[in-house]
Structure 1
């Protein structure tokens, strides 16, 4: 399909590249995600140009600018004008994919439509040049699929997914980011080829999963990952729980703000949340084998090559998820301070968000309001500057030694500090050097007196 009424505003640097190539007798088009996003009215972060010129030609005609041979053997040279990088790639055809990612053979072409025919989805297989009488080249009806909100492969989906199975997750990710749905044959092919994802590197799978998790509304895409069997391959440790708690977990993920760690924790919490069988899916308890479940979460995250900090934060949130807060105001405040000290302030608030999301997903509005009230208490604690960890105590080990504690057994110093910490968690106004030392002195005198008896 060709359309002469399409008008996309291009950066001047991209216009310079198009005009320069055309002046030298070549063909040039803006292609890929830039065209898609511009037609959808979305911000364009990266501009890509496809051309009939070969990489050596591009380096020669842009000698006045900076060029980088980014992927020269695949036809790509990055041209930098006014500090703006634009990837310029020769029209190409591709042979068989031997490693499920890169074609074994690249053939440079002179026809833009042949180049577009190798691309993954129709919405990414459009080309644009405003200086031509027909500025939009759309041989696979990508524009129509944009209006229909469909993710459909170029050509046979079985072939596209066999070339690079990660396209299954990529298509599902586009559904999440754009609010689209998988076209029927594309969905069927994804179901049939999901097992090939086992051949894809953990890092590539992790990166696509991360993008899905932080999409504005990931619910339907998480359902697609489940329905296509993708979760069985990429997260085998927890896929067995999805038939029972999947819908609850997916709703909770959606209700969490778009933070990668928080939403990952929400997803993995399906392993420990136990919804009732009633229609409102109320939470009635948690799996008793919590330590084993948390270890499974850690194994899963490490297999996907998540960094140590993310692994630690997600497992801490999952292991803390079952905590129940006291109905007593003072005791609940104590728990919150201790939680902030153990998890850190950021993840303590993440835990509140996580619990509230699950309660709302389960239809437990009253209980979720209780969590909201605890969140307000946590903000008040922060505003007051209450001590949350040992380093914020008004005393230290030297102070404790100065009053004679630890002379007989140095381990008593740590015990004394821990006791002071517990006092301050319950009574933050006690965080005074003179008061704490006085109380510790009295406590240890009492202990010694009891030992003498």
Structure 2
């Protein structure tokens, strides 16, 4: 068989092979090519040492990106390609990284150290596909299967547990039973993995179309969710415990990371706010604020970037607040949240209520969708809802003799008037309003 590989990768393979070395593309790029997909990047493995690689490619820019582990990045036509010497790892430290590596002369030994069969294939034009562990067959079956002893593989580097789910979500594959058993047995090892390594893995998993009920790692990474499953809701609006409701809302929302995280954490405050009245009905007063506080600690622990974190926290805080297709409400909220986040909030409200007692929330769902349509009309018709939409600005108000805080207060006043009546957004009418404000 012949794979259509990237020109720059072929240049590297040819240079190695023409100079007496072995070299192959390996891992994910081979997997994606066999699936008919364009690889995001290419990795090459060779029996040349890092020093020999840098010498051989001295006409190009080379970077010793991981020279301790045998990796050199070769840049051709502004395309970086990682080249790694055949190797095997020594004892792993804290289920994360090898204490040492040993460079090898055999591609077979190199492939045997890799995580899953679908990632343990190599290729060059001379040798064709090297597939020692039936990776191509597993690709055809849609199976994720570990190379060798699963327990050992996951103990070596526990992030492989999340990688298995990532491939499961990306390709809609299933994890083979023995591999899944080994994953579940070693799931606790995820607690030893740095959160910054975990974050990109769960982001890709959450943005796939995977059912959260298949994500066995959730209650390990987010222990509060386990408590949610023990928090029952004897309330006419709910038919399930908080955990079951949370999972439904997660599956209801579109596959966008900050939306998925919002649904995962939006009700965690119910664990701390549950009260039961004389009629044996459960209530969760102020749970959105408590959920926000608890979520902030979790997001900080995972080192979320500030922009994503603030989106999630704002959505959690407002996930159960009033919403209606009314002119003043919609325009004020568009101004407060911005277009993207206001529409996100509507999505959150819909996903949340679709996981409740349908008979009791059907009017809510209609109101949320009507609010969405109302907001779209406001934007389409370019109706004013921001200070920047006003026909006069702060400089003009200063020219009328106002200074300091008065300028900002006047702009807010004008905006409130224009939100109530868009026809007032006329320069002369606004000037008249300013004069009235002055009186």
> Match of 1:265?
262
User: How large is the Cα RMSD of the aligned pairs?
Assistant: 3.0
> Match of 1:44?
39
Report if the CA contact (8 A) 1:403-1:437 is conserved: no
Q: Give the secondary-structure state (helix, strand or coil) at the position aligned to 1:240.
A: helix
> Match of 2:332?
338
What CA deviation, in whole Å up to 9, does each residue of 1:128-168 have, x standing for no partner? 12212xx2222222122212212221112111111111111
Q: Is the aligned partner of 1:21 residue 2:13?
A: no
Report if the CA contact (8 A) 1:49-1:88 is conserved: yes
Tell me whether 39-48 or 182-191 shows the greater mean CA deviation: 182-191
Q: Give the secondary-structure state (helix, strand or coil) at the position aligned to 1:321.
A: coil
> Match of 1:373?
370
> Match of 2:188?
195
> Match of 2:197?
204
**Given the superposition, is the C-alpha separation of residues 22 and 240 from structure 1 closer, same or farther in structure 2, using an over 3 Å criterion?**
same
Q: Is the aligned partner of 1:9 residue 2:13?
A: no
> Match of 1:427?
421
Compute the displacement of 1:113 (Å): 1.5
**Given the superposition, is the C-alpha separation of residues 160 and 402 from structure 1 closer, same or farther in structure 2, using an over 3 Å criterion?**
same
Gap regions ≥5 residues in structure 2: 231-240, 272-281
1:177-188 equivalence runs, <5 A: 177-188=170-181
Q: Distance in 1 between matches of 2:255 and 2:347?
A: 11
**Given the superposition, is the C-alpha separation of residues 19 and 414 from structure 1 closer, same or farther in structure 2, using an over 3 Å criterion?**
closer
Aligned residues: 416
**Given the superposition, is the C-alpha separation of residues 432 and 240 from structure 1 closer, same or farther in structure 2, using an over 3 Å criterion?**
farther
Compute the displacement of 1:90 (Å): 0.8
Compute the displacement of 1:115 (Å): 0.6
Report if the CA contact (8 A) 2:269-2:290 is conserved: no
Compute the displacement of 1:91 (Å): 0.7
Q: Give the secondary-structure state (helix, strand or coil) at the position aligned to 1:100.
A: coil
**Given the superposition, is the C-alpha separation of residues 38 and 252 from structure 1 closer, same or farther in structure 2, using an over 3 Å criterion?**
farther
1:88-237 equivalence runs, <5 A: 88-132=83-127, 135-215=128-208, 217-219=209-211, 222-225=212-215, 227=216, 230-237=217-224
Q: Distance in 2 between matches of 1:294 and 1:186?
A: 37
Compute the displacement of 1:411 (Å): 6.9
Report if the CA contact (8 A) 2:269-2:294 is conserved: no
Q: Give the secondary-structure state (helix, strand or coil) at the position aligned to 2:81.
A: strand
Compute the displacement of 1:75 (Å): 0.9
> Match of 1:291?
289
Compute the displacement of 1:392 (Å): 3.5
1:311-350 equivalence runs, <5 A: 311-326=309-324, 332-350=326-344
Compute the displacement of 1:48 (Å): 0.9
Report if the CA contact (8 A) 2:267-2:291 is conserved: no
Compute the displacement of 1:258 (Å): 3.6
Q: Distance in 2 between matches of 1:413 and 1:64?
A: 62
Q: Distance in 1 between matches of 2:253 and 2:288?
A: 22
Q: Is the aligned partner of 1:301 residue 2:331?
A: no
Q: Distance in 2 between matches of 1:166 and 1:264?
A: 20
Q: Distance in 1 between matches of 2:80 and 2:249?
A: 39
Q: Distance in 2 between matches of 1:170 and 1:192?
A: 16
Pick from 71, 75, 83 the counterpart of residue 78 of structure 2: 83
Report if the CA contact (8 A) 1:294-1:318 is conserved: yes
Gap regions ≥5 residues in structure 1: 1-5, 275-283, 446-453
Q: Give the secondary-structure state (helix, strand or coil) at the position aligned to 1:107.
A: strand
Compute the displacement of 1:346 (Å): 1.2
What CA deviation, in whole Å up to 9, does each residue of 1:151-197 have, x standing for no partner? 22111211111111111111111111111122222222222222222
Compute the displacement of 1:110 (Å): 1.1
What CA deviation, in whole Å up to 9, does each residue of 1:373-402 have, x standing for no partner? 322221211122222234444456687788
> Match of 2:67?
72
Q: Give the secondary-structure state (helix, strand or coil) at the position aligned to 1:323.
A: coil
> Match of 1:241?
228
> Match of 2:346?
352
Structure 1 length normalisation: TM-score? Answer: 0.82
**Given the superposition, is the C-alpha separation of residues 131 and 246 from structure 1 closer, same or farther in structure 2, using an over 3 Å criterion?**
farther
